[in-house]
Amino acid sequence: MKKNGIINADISRVLSYMGHTDTLAVGDCGLPIPDETERIDLALKLGVPSFMEVLREVEKEMKIEKVVLAEEIREQNPAVLKEILELVEQMDTACQVEYVSHAELKARTKSCRAVIRTGETTPYANIILQSACLF
């Protein structure tokens, strides 16, 4: 049994399989997940767990070189955007931030290793994380 870190078996497995430039998404409870993409559903009830709670734990175990956000988050959810950008600034390596339309973000989830569904209920609380190289 794992002693610390993410104990969810599916998240742990996906993170272990990821290589450089592979992607993983973390989304709110309304983000549509393509049938061909693995769904890791953590949503317990509305708001639980929160998007930021899950994102912070994933970031602790994943080296990230780029994040992709929906343009709409800037106006529709500035509070969560602020938290995301603060987290990006605290990462141990430089991380690029890319903004795309929400429609484009949803389309990109098709190529993600998995989408982690949270209980988040605020708008546009979705992110795609691109894995960096460890060396």
Q: Which residues are catalytic?
A: 20
Is 124 one of the annotated binding-site residues? Answer: yes
Q: Is there a binding annotation on residue 92? A: no
Task: State yes or no: 102 annotated in a binding site.
Answer: yes
Measured in whole angstroms, how far is the alpha carbon of residue 22 from the centre of its chain? 12
DSSP 71-89: TTHHHH-HHHHHHHHHHHH
125 is in an annotated binding site: yes
Whether residue 56 contacts residue 83, with contact meaning beta carbons closer than 8 Å, is answered with no
- Select from 52, 53, 30 the least CA-distant residue to 124: 30
User: Is 17 annotated as ligand-binding?
Assistant: no
Q: What does the alpha-carbon distance between residue 47 and residue 24 come to, in Å, rounded to a whole number?
A: 21
Specify binding-site residues for substrate.
28, 102, 124-126
